Amino acid sequence: MHIYYEKKKRKFKKNLNTMMKLISKELESLTGKDYPEILSDIWEHYETNMLEKFPYIGGDKVSGTSNLTGAFCYVSMGEVLKEYGVDTKDAGHLMVLSYERMMNKIPGFAKKLMRKLFNNTKLVNKTLLKKDAKNAANAKVNPGSFVTKTQIPPEEGYKISYHNLTCPLASFAKQNGYGEYMPYLCNLDYVMFGVMGLPLQREHTCFDDGDYCDFKTDLVSDPMPYWPPVSMQGKGYK
């Protein structure tokens, strides 16, 4: 285990509880166990199979670390639930419920502000370009970390578009046999954008296509429903 993850165990355990507590009733119903007991099982799996194997991609200095460590809390949940006959699709639905409930804790005024900021495409692109530069510098030191590229001008028909060229989540899933969870993890982006009231369209993923994940928005469409997962709705989006 990388020393970064060793030192942050308490924080990661707290984050896991924050995520799982939002679906504690569902977890108890599916397993027949009290929440503290099932949480302990999920943490044990996460500590052994995730923290022990995560690559170091920059730690607290990069936002991608929280994406990696947070997403695979849900994978550990899914792996533990398999022992109770819960399939990946139902585990994926729990991921959506947990993340949706988390996003809905954001105050309404903050969501409104976020939508207003997104309509300032010049400001958004400036912010994304700074993120590109920061990610590129980090990737030179920590290979395999997120690499992004903002599309200037945006792809035709869109106000904002940027690509993830390297995704540590996809890489970790491929290397460790968790590919079945990726459609559900990728779908959480639609949950986040949807709860914020922002449309997201994606036609590529690093996991499926091996090239990039695209994030595009025209700012005028309605957000797509995110259950079942957008990639399984037959509309050409992933």
Domain locations in the chain as residue ranges: 3-103, 108-232
Strands (DSSP E) along the chain, which ranges?
147-150, 160-166, 213-217
Tokens, residue 71: 């997403």
Return the number of other C-beta atoms located less than 10 Å from residue 205's C-beta. Answer: 22
pLDDT value at residue 5: 98
Q: What is the mean pLDDT of residues 103-121?
A: 96
pLDDT in tens, 68-108: 999 999 999 999 999 999 999 999 999 999 999 999 999 99
Report percent pLDDT > 90 for the chain: 99
Count other Cβ atoms within 10 Å, centred on residue 213. 25
The predicted model gives 102-121 an average pLDDT of 96
Categorize the per-residue pLDDT at 63 as very low, low, confident or very high, splitting at 50, 70 and 90.
confident
What lies within 8 Å, CB to CB, of 30 at 6+ separation is 81, 84, 86, 90
Checking if the pLDDT of 228 tops 90, the result is yes
For residue 59, give the nearest of 26, 12, 106 by alpha carbon.
12
Residues 212-238 have a mean pLDDT of 96
The pLDDT > 70 percentage for the chain reads 100
Contact of 64 with 135, CB cutoff 8 Å: yes
For 153-167, what is each residue's pLDDT tens digit? 999 999 999 999 999
* Residue 65, C-beta contacts closer than 8 angstroms, at least 6 positions apart: 57, 58, 59
Average pLDDT over residues 182-200: 97
SS3 100: helix
Backbone angles phi, psi at 140, to 5 degrees: -65, -30
> What's the mean pLDDT when you consider all of the chain?
97
pLDDT on residue 169 = 98
CA-to-CA distance for 167 and 144, rounded, in angstroms? 8
As a whole number, mean pLDDT of residues 50-67 equals: 96
Look at residue 191 and tell me whether its pLDDT is greater than 90.
yes
Q: How many residues does the chain have?
A: 238
Q: Which amino acid is at 139?
A: A
Q: Sign of the C-alpha dihedral, residues 98, 99, 100, 104?
A: positive
Q: Which two tokens stand for residue 226?
A: 């995110």
Query: One-letter amino acid identity for 129?
Result: L
Q: Which residues fall within 8 angstroms of residue 167, CB to CB, at 6 or more apart?
A: 146, 205, 206, 207, 213
Cβ-in-10-Å burial (0-12, 13-18, 19+) of 20 comes to buried
The SS3 call for residue 138 is: helix
Its pTM stands at: 0.97
